[in-house]
Amino acid sequence: MADWKHWHIERNDNGVATVWVDVQNQSQNTFSAAVLAELSEVLDDLEQANTDQVILFRSRKENSFFAGADVKEFTGIETAKQAAEVSARGQQIFARVEALAPITVAIIRGACMGGGLEFALACNYRLAINASATRIGLPETQLGILPAWGGTQRLPQIVGLLQAIGMILQAQKLNADKAARIGLVDRVLEDGELEVGIGKAVGELLATGSLKKPPKKRTWAKWFVDRTAMGRSLAISATEKKIAPQLGHYPALGKALQAIRLSFVDPKKGYEFEREALGELILSPTCRNLVGLFLNKERARNPQTWEVPESVREKKIETIAVLGGGTMGAGIAQLAAKRGLKVILKEINDDCLNAARSRIQKSMDKLLARKRMSEADVRQQMDAIEFTTEWAPVSRAEVVVEAVPETMELKKTVFRELSKQCAPETVLASNTSALSVSEIADVVENPQRMAGLHFFNPVHSMDLIEVVQAKQSSSETMGKLVTLSRQLGKTPIVVKDSPGFVVNRVLMPYLDEAVLVAVELTARGQDLSQIDRELKKFGMPMGPLELYDQIGIDVAAHVAGSMSVVFGEDSVTSKILQRMTEQGQLGRKSESGFYRYEKSRRAGLADLKPFLADIELDLPQAPPTPLDEMMTPIQQRLILAMINEAGRCLDESVVPQAWMVDLAMVLGTGFAPFLGGPLSYAKQFSRDDLLQTLEQLAAVYGKRYQPAEALKSL
């Protein structure tokens, strides 16, 4: 038997061959060219053997069946022909898997994504382990491409047209139970009885030649869509209308839908279309930017990027304490419990503690109702959280995360007490979005153990954590917080302690400019919603005024008041936000902000005129600029304000490299991912056009547009 690096075959006397995969020097199994080449040799062996009746494909990695193709290799593809050849190679190999004479079974535990699922789809059966790490999907459209190893052709035939459209176009990731309900996997195995479950399935296959599958729910609507040309045509036409506004930014959605359609019409043409479409898409700016973000996300999750000491890198955090059980504190505690940490949640009194417990329980109950958690998961995670009003339990934690209300004096009071209660080596972190961590650290004994952890709301779904390095923070402290961030499943970006860190620092000029434009439009009697329409057309997930209403006018007013570095000491925006706050016009939560709301639905624009009293209005005309053909005047003012501030972050070494700003802004604010981030987008312009535009804007709107030095060397 061949001595392969990544693959191994075990055979028993009953006609069962187990093909194990364990891609070396990788935490996840991925299909690189080398791994595919070895799989081809493995298939040579399987095709020539005459004793195998059942072939099991399994992974030796605990949390990874196959995470998909090796995305790093995408960057080496320079022509459409090369991309089409990569597609053809994968299609050919998986066709050989599909053609194997023995019964083939994929045993899925952990990530089964992209090319990994396309591999599993080529098997006769799929068994999935009911574990939190098991996630199954085809997320290629998130990279600006489509599944091109047969996924668009095989998946619709297994799960039906509508399910396939949802999985591929929305890049859905399913757990084992959901995958079973739609017929994607044939049996769900319990983690604790894995070998028994596999043994039963194999015995059934050897005895009968097939595996009894759970009955599928059949409906006339599903039959109409999957079995009739008219039904498919109506479903595809409806999807085309739905995705039409996105195609300019995400062309892969249209290509994927066309490939799915061909799976019912002419699969041979469907496979050919996959190859051609991959060649076209992989060279597009959208794909290049999305792949760049993916690789930079992996880079940010690598401890070596942040120079984490090896001694810290190898040691996991086991127990954390969270001070404060409000929205953020409860979210942090719940996430930590979910990720397997022991949590001590401290509140100031029993009423606050009971409210925190109720907040977490309600959140888990919602997940339980949506079948995102089991009752056993709820019990286990609630048991992992110790609720207390005492200081003594907090002293057992290796890391303490403070999540009390955002006022400097309160935070200083908390940290004075913390430094007395905890051992000198306990790491202390403040969850703050705008306050100076260095100033807080001044009241801490052994301040080198103090730093910041800026979580984003909602904690469970926002991927980013800004790990804030105070002037006093030691490398060991920063290393422990990077380690904790990764344990929590987040992407850390290490930032210098400065107003707003990176995300709020870069976002706030954009939001500031939105208010200034809103004031000008109000004074001219024009429609404010134009601002949101133009920024959504640019590619932002929501407009800036909608964003204000979403995060809360009061929250934005507080941040604006603490960021004079952006807004200036006499800020019109700060005045407007403060006046709106004083009048209770707080956004969605008060049913009135920049917009009015009725039963959580938008019901028209609110009136800004009452807030403009005694504000000196300047109504300048937008100057013509070299970028007029690429952006509207409103887009220029808002987006270039963000780009310029991103440049200033580099000037001031808030982070050392441009990719860190881009990744933080995409993960933290939803900045149009297909553009790669504000600084990646800036690189699309000629330097002279960008600088000249900024200077022309500065001449009309003020020094805030004076070009940052970093932009001159992008």
Domains defined for the chain, CATH in brackets:
7-209+220-283 (3.90.226.10), 315-496 (3.40.50.720), 503-713 (1.10.1040.50)
- 10 Å CB burial of residue 520 (0-12, 13-18, 19+) is middle
- Let me know: does 275 contact 87? Beta carbons within 8 Å: yes
In eight-state DSSP terms, residue 372 is S
Would you call 6 a catalytic residue per the annotation?
Answer: no
Query: What's the distance, CA 157 to chain centroid?
Result: 29
Percent of the chain exceeding pLDDT 70 equals 99
Confidence (pLDDT) at 372: 77
- Let me know: does 490 contact 461? Beta carbons within 8 Å: no
220: number of Cβ within 10 Å: 8
487: number of Cβ within 10 Å: 16
| pLDDT tops 70 at residue 565 | no
Q: Please, what is the angle between helix 161-169 and helix 252-265, to 10°?
A: 160
Tokens read off for 245: 């506004």
| pLDDT tops 80 at residue 563 | no
In this structure, of 408-412, 552-556, 675-679, the range with the lowest mean pLDDT score is 552-556
In this structure, of 17-26, 115-124, 612-621, 684-693, the range with the lowest mean pLDDT score is 612-621
Calculate mean pLDDT across residues 81-106: 97
Calculate mean pLDDT across residues 45-62: 95
Q: What is the pLDDT of residues 331-377, one digit of tens each?
A: 999 999 999 999 999 999 999 999 999 999 999 999 888 877 788 88
- Beta pairing partners, 595: 605
Confidence (pLDDT) at 555: 85
CA atoms of 402 and 419, how far apart (whole Å): 12
CA nearest to 320, candidates 307, 309, 301, 333? 333
The two counts, helices (H) then strands (E), for the chain are 29, 20
In eight-state DSSP terms, residue 328 is H
- Contacting residues for 229 by C-beta, under 8 A, at least 6 apart: none
Residues 299-338 as b/e (b if ≥16 CB within 10 A, e otherwise) read ebbebebbebeeebbeeebebbbbbbbeebbbbbbbbbbb
Confidence (pLDDT) at 614: 84
Confidence (pLDDT) at 434: 81
| pLDDT tops 80 at residue 681 | yes
DSSP for 649-692 reads HHHTTSSSSHHHHHHHHHHHH---GGGTSHHHHHTTS-HHHHHH
* Cα–Cα distances in angstroms (integers) from residue 465 to residues 111, 426, 456, 654, in the given order: 23, 20, 7, 15
In eight-state DSSP terms, residue 373 is S
CA nearest to 325, candidates 363, 364, 344, 353? 353
Task: Please give the torsion angle defined by the CA atoms of residues 469, 474, 479 and 481, in that order, rounded to the nearest 10 degrees.
Answer: -50
CA nearest to 640, candidates 652, 651, 627, 649? 627
Which helix (H) or strand (E) is 18 found in, with range? Answer: strand 16-21
| pLDDT tops 90 at residue 154 | yes
Would you call 504 a catalytic residue per the annotation?
Answer: yes
Taken in order 418, 421, 424, 428, is the CA torsion positive or negative? negative
pLDDT band (50, 70, 90) for residue 595 = very high
| pLDDT tops 90 at residue 183 | yes
Q: What is the pLDDT of residues 567-584, one digit of tens each?
A: 666 788 989 999 999 999
CA atoms of 353 and 576, how far apart (whole Å): 36
Active-site choice (118, 398, 466, 513): 466
Pairing of strands 16-21, 7-11: antiparallel
- Contacting residues for 104 by C-beta, under 8 A, at least 6 apart: 54, 55, 57, 97, 122, 123, 124, 125
How many CA within 13 A on the CB side of residue 100?
A: 30
In eight-state DSSP terms, residue 572 is H
In the three-class reduction of DSSP (H, G, I as helix; E, B as strand; rest coil), residue 334 is classed as helix
| pLDDT tops 90 at residue 626 | yes
CA nearest to 692, candidates 713, 707, 672? 707
| pLDDT tops 90 at residue 713 | no
Calculate mean pLDDT across residues 476-491: 96
Would you call 454 a catalytic residue per the annotation?
Answer: yes
CA atoms of 400 and 411, how far apart (whole Å): 13
- Let me know: does 497 contact 470? Beta carbons within 8 Å: yes
CA atoms of 337 and 320, how far apart (whole Å): 10
* Cα–Cα distances in angstroms (integers) from residue 336 to residues 68, 133, 320, 402, in the given order: 27, 15, 8, 14
* Cα–Cα distances in angstroms (integers) from residue 251 to residues 70, 85, 254, in the given order: 22, 21, 6
Confidence (pLDDT) at 217: 73
In eight-state DSSP terms, residue 589 is G
Confidence (pLDDT) at 568: 63
Active-site choice (87, 454, 485, 558): 454
Which helix (H) or strand (E) is 560 found in, with range? Answer: helix 553-561
Mean pLDDT, the chain, rounded, equals 94
- Let me know: does 585 contact 606? Beta carbons within 8 Å: yes
Confidence (pLDDT) at 684: 93
pLDDT band (50, 70, 90) for residue 214 = confident
Calculate mean pLDDT across residues 592-619: 89
Tokens read off for 153: 């052709």
The model's pTM: 0.92
Confidence (pLDDT) at 376: 85
312: left (phi over 0), alpha (psi -120 to 50) or beta: alpha
